[in-house]
Amino acid sequence: MLEEAQPMTKEILEKPSVSFNFGEKDKIQPKGFENVNINEDVTVIAKGRVKSISDKSDHWDKGKRFSIELKSFQIVPPEKKVSLDDAIKDARKKV
44-88 residue pLDDT tens: 999 999 999 888 766 777 778 889 999 999 998 877 777 788 778
The answer as to whether 61 is a domain residue is yes
**Is 37 inside any structural domain?**
yes
Domain presence at residue 2: no
In a domain, 22, yes or no: no
Residue 50 lies in a domain: yes
Number of domains in the chain: 1
Q: Which domain holds residue 80?
A: 33-93
Q: CA 49, CA 67: separation in Å to the nearest integer? A: 8
Helix (H, G, I), strand (E, B) or coil at 65: strand
pLDDT digits (tens, 9 = 90+) for 35-50: 888 898 899 999 999 9
* CA-based nearest residue to 74, from 28, 37, 40: 28
Residue 85 belongs to a domain: yes
Domain-embedded: residue 47: yes
pTM recorded for the entire structure: 0.61
5 in a structural domain:
no
